Structure 1
């Protein structure tokens, strides 16, 4: 079993990415949040976070990937996920445990709040390393296939897990940057700071943009495969709406003065 950990700022963005597509996402358990709507779920996480407003990166997003040779029941996955959260110290806080069905190997997404139910901050120091050590202990405890067995299947699994992380990091970066942009050029500059390149697909021999892809490291994804709003049409619509809102916002500020 392999552990990957991402920390972030937007509970709404994380909940939307993990839970919106009900064809691929199966919620195994939630604690302290409403699971029937990713909007309400994100809101519930955010309410708790506001008890400690200085904690800006309060989102814990963990990915547990099982070896293709391990066939694990939902009940067993839930048990392992809860023990994992306990092992890394993410206790007395809100969480959601979600199984995804969009790859040929079993994997879980865990969302947790680094601000606990008492409004205290849970330390995220070395959280990635803590996650890896917890995964190693639980792999032995539950007699799963250890990640140290470097065969071709394991190599593929590691790549798949890294691919999931890259996909989510791109989603998060675009989601954070887009509201601050007026043009595609603005978006390119913002994403370059995060190590993400934009690639365009043009119509025939023209300069008409027909599609958009995002590349981070060795992984590249069509915008529409990350989220429907991140297709070229979705991004251009968002940029246009933001430009149209500017005069209205300026007028409101003028009236206040």
Structure 2
């Protein structure tokens, strides 16, 4: 279940939109269905109780997943919507609840008067935050599925400015995973005819917002999608750059560990691929591919143990965790082989007969 707060400037336009051919009125309070003109007049009459309130139109759409369609009867939808109103403190006022039938997923529109029956104001402070919490609570209570997101919106049905807004959304969604900074994102968006500019804090150079424009329409990043606000996009780029740096550091350490391993192996057993010393059993090798290639393992009867199984990636292990573990393992084995090689040299020196003077 998802609730969308919709801006409305007049009851005539809002009621006229929600009451259409493919719709069904579920509930009403303080207005007289089904005549649109009469309902609009009912809403307008009540606004006279509080003429200082500039915008008295309240409009919220409640959407449900298409998976909930078989059980989403008119009665259940009405019950959920009325409970939603209670939790949102939309009470003691006029309202109209209309179910739309033009989409595969069930949804309804709630139109209400922000001027209450006693002239009080139905507050909309923090309405988006409250809406998200209430929708989540009702989704859990009624064991509903999550409603379809932006990817499920039928683009061919959109009109301006939503049509352009979704074009920008789709472009950012496509390019963002492969963009490591603001400049690269801006270049890629230009390929789709989308311009980008920043909002600054006062007369300073401190950026505090980002705007995207196309076809003569301009939207802030957060209006396109909350994940595309300046702060969230900037955090994405920062994390991407940190991850890139971390991966580069991991790769450098891994290649150094490979070099250390090969040097220590050669010092202890001779050149790799030579089958080890006489009498020893070859434990095989493991191929890392790329510019690293095969890595010969210590012989089975060596005091230094390392198996192909230890070098395999574990289930659930991320690439970064795998590289870090293998790097530490190779460095440990290389150190053990270097110590063994020095010990062997020491023993050889001790076996040499001393020259008599």
Which TM-score band applies after superposition, normalised by the shorter structure?
A: 0.5 to 0.7
State the Cα RMSD in Å.
Answer: 2.8
Q: Judging changes above 3 Å, is the alpha-carbon distance between structure 1 residues 160 and 67 closer, same or farther for their aligned structure 2 residues?
A: farther
Cα distance in 1 for partners of 2:105, 2:34 equals 25
Structure 2: gaps spanning 5 or more residues: 166-212, 220-357
**Aligned twin of 1:203:** none
SS at 2:108 equivalent: strand
Cα distance in 2 for partners of 1:81, 1:56 equals 26
**Aligned twin of 1:222:** none
**Aligned twin of 2:93:** 93
Q: Provide, for residues 192-224 of structure 1, a one-character-per-residue CA deviation record: whole Å limited to 9, x for no partner.
A: xxx8957xxxxxxxxxxxxxxxx786xxxxxxx
Residue pair 1:18, 1:98 contacting (<8 A) in 2 also: yes
**Aligned twin of 2:6:** 6
- Cα deviation for residue 35 of structure 1 reads 1.1
Q: Judging changes above 3 Å, is the alpha-carbon distance between structure 1 residues 48 and 140 closer, same or farther for their aligned structure 2 residues?
A: same
Q: How does 1:168-183 map to 2 (within 5 A)?
A: none
Compare relative contact order (CA 8 Å, sep 6+) and give the higher one, 1 or 2: 1
Q: Judging changes above 3 Å, is the alpha-carbon distance between structure 1 residues 32 and 160 closer, same or farther for their aligned structure 2 residues?
A: farther
Q: Judging changes above 3 Å, is the alpha-carbon distance between structure 1 residues 115 and 73 closer, same or farther for their aligned structure 2 residues?
A: same
Structure 1: gaps spanning 5 or more residues: 148-152, 171-194, 199-214, 218-257
**Aligned twin of 2:15:** 15
- Cα deviation for residue 164 of structure 1 reads 9.3
Cα distance in 2 for partners of 1:4, 1:57 equals 18
- Cα deviation for residue 155 of structure 1 reads 5.0
Q: Judging changes above 3 Å, is the alpha-carbon distance between structure 1 residues 14 and 196 closer, same or farther for their aligned structure 2 residues?
A: farther
**Aligned twin of 1:56:** 54
Q: Judging changes above 3 Å, is the alpha-carbon distance between structure 1 residues 100 and 60 closer, same or farther for their aligned structure 2 residues?
A: same
User: Which structure's CA Rg is the greater one?
Assistant: 2
Q: Judging changes above 3 Å, is the alpha-carbon distance between structure 1 residues 165 and 103 closer, same or farther for their aligned structure 2 residues?
A: farther
Residue pair 2:64, 2:146 contacting (<8 A) in 1 also: no
**Alignment size in residue pairs:** 167
Cα distance in 2 for partners of 1:10, 1:97 equals 17
TM-score (norm 2): 0.43
SS at 2:112 equivalent: strand
- Cα deviation for residue 143 of structure 1 reads 0.6
Residue pair 1:7, 1:57 contacting (<8 A) in 2 also: no
Q: How does 1:35-74 map to 2 (within 5 A)?
A: 35-71=33-69, 72-74=72-74
Q: Judging changes above 3 Å, is the alpha-carbon distance between structure 1 residues 132 and 6 closer, same or farther for their aligned structure 2 residues?
A: same
